[in-house]
Amino acid sequence: MTELDRRSFLGRGLATAGGVLASGVAMETLGAHASWADAGRPWTDPNQVGYGPLRRTPARNTGEELLALPAGFSYVVLGRTGTPMTDGVATPIAHDGMAAFPGTRRHTARLIRNHEVRTPPGSPIGRVHVPGSERYDELGVGGTTTLEVDLRSGEVLRHFVSLNGTIINCAGGMMLHGRGWLTCEETTAGRGQGWERKHGYIFEVPLDGPEPGRPAASMPLTAMGRFSHEAVAVDPRTGYVYETEDDSGKPDGLYRFRPRNPRHLASGGVLEMLKIKNVDTYDCREGQTMGTRLPVEWVRIDDPDPDLENGAPTCTQQGLAKGGAKFNRLEGCWYGDGSVFFNSTSGGDAKNGDAPGADGYREGYGQVWRLIPGTRGRGDTLVLVYESPGRRELDSPDNLVFTPRGGIVLCEDDASSADADPHPLAPGLTNVNRLIGLDPRRGEPFEFAVNIADDSEFAGACFAPDGSTMFVNQLGSTAELDPPGRTYAIRGPWRRGPL
């Protein structure tokens, strides 16, 4: 993700698609957390850290108890699945990746939100669809919606479809200089699965242009690769776009796109996969040591838009054949402190008990990686900054958010079927998802929020440009109307604690 207005947070940080491009305090937080975990310190009672004990909290505007939050924090529900939007379309299902931009008026913010709809081609259930608009695939069911929100009242001023004709829009990232949102398809499906066009691409959603009833034209950026995309982060110094891959059950790669014109990605460029220097197919998924600096080189993907339907090798296969490094379930991705941070949701040595993947790898509880781009002739460097020792500390991190005040929030996406993790605040739920905060002073993890409504993941966490409000999504079902997707706007005494 990329920087916006340096004055936004009074010199403490910068707004980004994933949250905040903070000062070095945030990097120190990760360092402290790695030290905390590496020392084998026991899990602290969550009542004694962060903002104190959590309590089941009703939404201010609906009265439903959907989240557990610390005392003093409140929230409103924005854009629940099925709610009629300004353009007359019902709010789609599957609320996923999201970015917060300055609004068109004072005290407002504009959100661009992904919808990871996984219904069959042309299905009417919860789809993102505006008849007569310029769509890439007429049968596409996914896309994005845009919301204008009053930050003081929490009222949605208008909301509408801003892109359609795509499928399985999972995560993404902010375009260079905050000009819009890059939305990513987490699939490589095509005509063989019933779609009219092949999928697995990144699409642009301009900040300015889409209006109610007039979504942006959906045009794939084919040079950026055809694979199961998750998130992207843009280096504002070079315009390079870093892309994560999540092809569940198989080794994944970290990609870099070097555009010919950083302001016009459709002009093409070069797609590459990360490789550990002088080591072929280095396995980053397990057996790693936090803090070790691994030298990086990049291998070119010769065919970034492979004809998979006729047996062409995938982007991953091409990269691994040249010695690219292996990761597992790369998801959230964020630019800050001159580096790219990304999560391997199921990397690590502590295993969650799920069945092994296609190559025998057994999933872990998650890793946080830092890629440091080289300067002045120096090569890039990869560092493991945190690896979860178990589900209590952190279970399956997805999005990574640096806050305006130097803290860190990790969104859990616990998809484990073997290791149940019930929670006392969510009776009846087997796999509970949380927002986990990291204390900048001690690096200690703590629970900031618990989804007590259902077992779906948290996603799309980001802060309003003025730092007053954290927005976050509850995914809901990706194929049915129930449980519904929801967007929350959370306010409270942020300065009282580490976030």
The DSSP secondary-structure symbol of 12 reads S
Tell me if 188 sits within 8 A of 167, measured CB to CB.
no
pLDDT computed for residue 49 by the predictor: 77
**Residues 6 or more apart in contact with residue 226 via CB below 8 angstroms:** 188, 198, 199, 200, 201, 304, 305, 306, 308, 315
The DSSP string of 95-131 is EEEEEEEE-SSTTEEEEEEEE---PPTT--TT----T
pLDDT computed for residue 7 by the predictor: 24
pLDDT computed for residue 403 by the predictor: 85
pLDDT computed for residue 39 by the predictor: 64
Residue 3 lies in a domain: no
The DSSP secondary-structure symbol of 223 reads G
The DSSP secondary-structure symbol of 41 reads P
pLDDT computed for residue 356 by the predictor: 86
| Strands 229-234 vs 241-245: parallel, antiparallel or unpaired | antiparallel
Residue 8 lies in a domain: no
- Token pair 């398809």 is at which residue? 185
What are the pLDDT tens digits along the chain (499 aa)? 332 222 222 222 333 333 333 446 666 666 666 666 666 655 555 566 789 999 999 999 999 999 999 999 999 999 899 999 999 999 999 999 999 999 989 999 999 999 999 999 999 999 999 999 999 999 999 999 999 999 999 999 999 999 999 999 999 999 999 999 999 999 999 999 999 999 999 999 999 999 999 999 999 999 999 999 999 999 999 999 999 999 988 999 999 999 999 999 999 999 999 999 999 999 999 999 999 999 999 999 999 999 999 999 999 999 999 999 999 999 999 898 789 999 999 999 999 888 888 889 999 999 999 999 998 778 999 999 889 998 888 889 998 888 887 788 899 987 656 777 789 999 999 889 999 988 766 667 899 999 999 999 999 999 999 999 999 999 999 999 999 999 999 999 999 988 8
pLDDT computed for residue 17 by the predictor: 36
Structure tokens at 51: 């903002």
Q: How far apart are CA 386 and CA 290, in angstroms?
A: 6
Q: Is 322 exposed, middle or buried (0-12, 13-18, 19+ CB in 10 A)?
A: middle
- CB half-sphere exposure, 73, CA atoms < 13 A: 29
DSSP 3-state of 183 = strand
Residue 5 lies in a domain: no
In this structure, the number of other CB atoms found within 10 A of the CB of residue 427 comes to 8
Residue 288 lies in a domain: yes
pLDDT computed for residue 394 by the predictor: 87
Q: How many residues belong to the chain?
A: 499
The DSSP secondary-structure symbol of 318 reads H
Please name which of 101, 69, 82 lies closest in space to residue 426, comparing C-alpha atoms: 69
Instruction: Count up the domains in the chain and report the number.
Output: 1
Q: Which domain holds residue 73?
A: 13-496
Residue 415 lies in a domain: yes
The DSSP secondary-structure symbol of 406 reads S
CA distances from 144 to 129, 140, 323, 447 (A): 10, 12, 35, 29
Structure tokens at 202: 């990144």
pLDDT computed for residue 15 by the predictor: 35
Q: How far apart are CA 125 and CA 127, in angstroms?
A: 6
Residue 6 lies in a domain: no
Question: In CATH, what number is assigned to the domain containing residue 277?
Answer: 2.120.10.30
Helix, strand, coil distribution of the chain in percent, nearest 5: 10, 40, 55
Which helix (H) or strand (E) segment holds residue 317: the answer is helix 315-321
The DSSP secondary-structure symbol of 33 reads H
Q: How far apart are CA 401 and CA 470, in angstroms?
A: 10
Q: How far apart are CA 57 and CA 193, in angstroms?
A: 43
pLDDT computed for residue 46 by the predictor: 57
End-to-end distance of the chain based on CA atoms, in angstroms? 20
Supply angle C-alpha 140, 183, 24, rounded to 5: 165
Q: How far apart are CA 130 and CA 475, in angstroms?
A: 22
- Token pair 């927002």 is at which residue? 435
| Strands 397-402 vs 408-412: parallel, antiparallel or unpaired | antiparallel
Please name which of 113, 141, 147 lies closest in space to residue 126, comparing C-alpha atoms: 141
Beta bridge partners of 143: 115, 164
Residue 370 lies in a domain: yes
Cα 124 to chain centroid, rounded: 26
- The model carries a pTM of 0.92
